[in-house]
Amino acid sequence: MTALDRLARTDLAFLNWRDPTHPDAGGAEAYCWEIARRFAAAGAHVTLVSSRYPGSRAREYRDGIRIVRAGGTFGVYAAAAAHLLRNRHAYDAVVDFQNGIPFFSPLFTPRWTADLCVIHHVHQHQFDTRFRWPMNAVGRVLEKQVSRRVYRGRPVVVVSPSTREGTRRELGFGNPIHIVPNGRPRPLPAGPVGQRSATPALTVVSRLVPQKRVDLILRAMPALLRRLPELRVDLCGDGPEGESLRKLAAGLGIGSAVEFHGHVSDERKQELFHRAWLTVVPSVAEGWGLAVIEANTVGTPALAFDVPGLRDAIRPGVNGWLLDRDADLSAGIASALDALSTPEARDRAADRCRAWAAAFSWDASAERLAQVVVEDLQRIHRHRRSRRSTSDLSVITRFTSPDPESTERAVRRALRQTDAWQRKGDAFRLLLHGCDEMRALSALRRLDVAEADIVLANGHDVLLGAAEPGDGSAGGPAPGRPS
């Protein structure tokens, strides 16, 4: 039985700043919705509480999810608190999405409710780009000192190793932290979507806000056009910087080479990504880099600066390039386009990109988040202080078994919900979270495994779960007692 199956008939609240129909919805909203609707499809009763925007309804049902909208950009926090207080005994678990400032759900739920905090990325250095003093200082205190106290000891979910590092180093969280990555935006297409451009082309998909630094691409264009006069850029997305970026393009004299598409459908986005040789993500930081995987899904590599989140989404030499933070963007783009100058090179890059994107799916991400929810519900309902490791070490162990059926049964019983495993014939691959090599040896002894290869997992190993890099498969759930 999967963790998702175990959530059938449970009552869950998802708290997110926006729902996916909000005009300013982005990757964080896609993450929340894709997982919430898979929880609902598994039989859970899911309520999404989010802000109300002009033209939206206060109550709506979509994909089996009850949507409750109230409050605006900041009023949604008070509205969510009021909703939890009115329904104090209604929810078994609350999944609280922190978009800079969380909803502080543990303050409004009883002690037998499982409260999880999901963090996409740390905003400590971004409050200054949106607010002036004293609101920027208030934001930093709420995200750091207040959040750390309210969520003390509760499970935290992050989307990448970079966000885990920021949550530890910048926010000082000592909580158990679980990595649950984004899935790919849609099932991999069966065949090509449109045609790859015969001449150099970039597709950029981004919200047009300061921290995305889309202006850097425009400023790089004059030098690029001198080298590659046929280069064209398709820029998709809306935001408060849209008008200023259009004026910048006109002022630089590159208006004929850059097309501003505004908001586009998923189908059109996929078509534009497939037409491009490369996508560029110049953000100052990301929690993950959903645009990278969106492009990789149709075989288009990505280029970005070596910053949090993007260094997790991009594996240099596999699905794109990473530049030093102070590198010249125009030179980096030109170098990448040179490497993609032949159809054969673009085809090889496309194969690598699709293989990397295939390792991620929303089904697998929903199962991994469900494992965290189930594990905490079990801890609460058993009224025990079970060991929950706050170590960020993870271990990969491989071994073969003379009796694989028996070993599989033992694995299912012995591992925690949040560990992962994969079996191929008589060969097993286990990913054990929150432990080092010595503790992994103890777990293997309980499985009667005499010989095994044991190595510390790196960030990409944790993102992939139990799957071998490049095989695109997902590991099985491992319910049961702690390892």
Question: What are the structure tokens assigned to 416, written together?
Answer: 């925690």
pLDDT in tens, 32-60: 999 999 999 999 999 999 999 999 999 99
Amino acid at 182: N
Helix, strand or coil, per DSSP, at residue 11? strand
Distance, CA of 383 to CA of 304 (rounded, Å): 47
pLDDT in tens, 331-353: 999 999 999 999 999 999 999 99
Per the DSSP assignment, residues forming a β-bridge with 232 are 201
Confidence class for position 413, pLDDT limits 50, 70, 90? confident
Convert the pLDDT of each residue in 111-126 to its tens digit: 999 999 999 988 887 7
Domain range list for the chain:
3-179, 201-357, 391-477
DSSP assignment of 252-284, as one string? Answer: TT-TTTEEEEES--HHHHHHHHHH-SBEEE--S
- Closest listed residue to residue 432, CA positions, set 396, 406, 468: 396
Angle at 396 between CA 393 and CA 397, to 5 degrees: 135
Query: Is residue 476 scored above 50 in pLDDT?
Result: no
**Which long-range contacts link 381-389 to residues 24+ away (Cβ below 8 Å)?**
381/112, 386/482, 387/482, 388/155, 388/176, 388/434, 389/176, 389/433, 389/434, 389/435
C-alpha to C-alpha distance for 115 and 49, rounded to whole angstroms: 15
- The yes-or-no answer to whether 3-179 and 201-357 have a common fold is yes
Quick check: bond before 134 cis, omega within 30? yes
pTM: 0.84
Residue 433 — φ and ψ, nearest 5°?
-90, 150
Q: Give the alpha-carbon dihedral of 481, 32, 173, 10, to 10 degrees.
A: -40
> Sign of the CA dihedral 354, 357, 362, 364?
positive
- At 242, the pLDDT band (50, 70, 90 cuts) reads very high
Q: Which residues contact 62 (CB under 8 A, 6 or more apart)?
A: none
Alpha helices in 328-476 (DSSP H): 329-339, 343-357, 362-381, 404-414, 437-446, 459-464
Q: What's the CATH code, domain 391-477?
A: 3.30.70.270
Distance of alpha carbon 81 from alpha carbon 13, whole angstroms = 12
Query: In the chain, what percentage of residues exceed pLDDT 90?
Result: 68
Digit-coded pLDDT (tens) for 371-392: 999 999 998 887 644 445 677 8
360 has pLDDT over 80: yes
What kind of fold does domain 201-357 have according to CATH? Rossmann fold (3.40.50)
On the question of pLDDT at 11 being above 80, the answer is yes
> What number does CATH give the domain 3-179?
3.40.50.2000
